[in-house]
Amino acid sequence: MTSARPEHEYDPLTDPLPQGSHESPWFRSDNPAPEASAPVQEPASGPVYPPGPMGAPEPVAAPQEWYEPVPPPYQQDWYPAHEPMPEPMSGPVTTADPSATAPIPAPAPIPAPISEPISVAEPTAAGDSTADPASTRAMPAVVVPPATGGRAERRKAAKGKGRAAPAPAAAPATAPDGRRLTRAEARRAAKARKDSPAVIASRVLGEAFITLGVVMLLFVTYQLWWTNVRAHQEAGSATKKITQDWADGRKPGTFAPGQGFAIMHIPKLDIVAPVAQGTSKAKVLDKGMIGHYDEGGLKTAMPSDPTGNFAVAAHRNTHGEPFRYINRLKAGDKVVVETQEAYYTYEITSELPQTPPSNVSVLKPIPVGSGFTKPGRYLTLTTCTPEFTSTYRLIVWGKMVDDRPRSKGKPDALVG
């Protein structure tokens, strides 16, 4: 039976824990409180089995292990004297065996950087299972230290991870049977791989030929294209200057070498080119102009002279090539020479396809081989032949058929 609790008895639910008390408040609520007058019984030395809710005894720890006093520091930290104690447990309390509790594992130690050499086996033939363990060789391990330092150093280290690794060193030379070559054998193999003097000479000769071919191609382009461009520009400028002098009323006189004084028209070939004094290549012919023979023993007549042979020369190829197609002129075709005072019209009569450069008789007042037999006013056109060479000369002759002052207008050959 449960007796009434005396007024002076300690109530664990409402009364605070007395200072210095070592009694534990953890007891079952269904246990009867001891009488105030009854002496406190010492707990038995054996195990205590409080009644459980199911009527079966449950194993509990010994009293001295179960009601262990709480040290004062923890009592003050956990359960202050001015706060109520927690509700007692309504059921039996079992205490696990401390020896059965699994200990907390200690943190694993951080592995130290690898500094020992790694054994790498030498490569063996495929399918060879008799590799000798002693044939392994030690290779130093490559340890990449972690990035240290500030943020900038870590960023640089992160960027360096994406870069390509350096190329591995070349493997030692091996023989066809798989064995490593000796030093003498390696030297002989390296020497055999070198090019022979004949191969080097042929390579140098081939490069020289290629360079020469490129230079020749550039030279041909310059001769056949660029010289014509420049000559046409200079001839056009000379024609404009001649016409400007005529418009200014400049009187003709003795013309200096290279000075333009007339304009030649060949309607059939669609040629309009200035005529300058002399046959100098640098001053006249290479500038796309037609040169008048008037130097030394090759002095010829002017168109205004009453008799004589007006002989001129020009390039057939390159440098404007004004006389390139004079071989197409036929008997009866017209050639007009325009000067400051008049228009002189010549009619083509004959041609000499080929003659040596030394044959200057074609430039005489009565040209040899032209068919003319008496003095008159003649025209002689000379140029090189065959094309792109200067081995021979091509000669075309004509005779004057019209002498018209500029005041009477252009001749019919130009009007048509």
Examine residue 63 and state whether it is found in any structural domain, yes or no: no
Q: What is the rounded CA–CA span in Å between residue 42 and residue 364?
A: 167
Specify if 405 maps to a domain: yes
Q: Within a domain: residue 214?
A: no
> What is residue 22's predicted lDDT score, i.e. its pLDDT?
47
Q: Does residue 375 sit within a domain? A: yes
Cis amide bond preceding 386, omega within 30: yes
Whether 150 is in a domain gets the answer: no
Domain limits for position 321: 232-415
pLDDT in tens, 32-75: 555 544 455 555 555 555 555 554 455 555 455 444 555 555 44
Q: CATH no. for residue 314?
A: 2.40.260.10
What is the identity of the amino acid at 76?
Answer: Q
288: in domain: yes
Active site residues: 315, 384, 393
What is the chain's Cα-based Rg? 63
Segment 385-401, tens digit of pLDDT: 999 999 999 999 999 99
pLDDT in tens, 291-330: 999 887 789 999 999 999 999 999 999 999 999 999 999 9
DSSP readout, 272-302? EEEEEEB--TTTTGGGTPEEE--SGGG----
Q: Is the pLDDT of residue 364 over 60?
A: yes
SS3 197: helix
Tens-digit pLDDT profile for residues 214-272: 999 999 899 889 999 999 999 999 999 999 988 888 776 678 889 999 999 999 999 99
- Domain membership of residue 274 (yes or no) is yes
Q: Give CA–CA dist 287/260, Å, rounded.
A: 12
β-pair partners for 343: 338, 404
Please identify which residue in the block is written with the tokens 């495929």: 126
Within-domain flag for 207: no
Phi, psi of 386 (to 5 degrees): -65, 175
- DSSP string of 212-239? HHHHHHHHHHIIIIIHHHHHHHHHHHHH
Tracing tokens 């006249």 back to the chain, one arrives at 284
Q: How many domains does the chain have?
A: 1
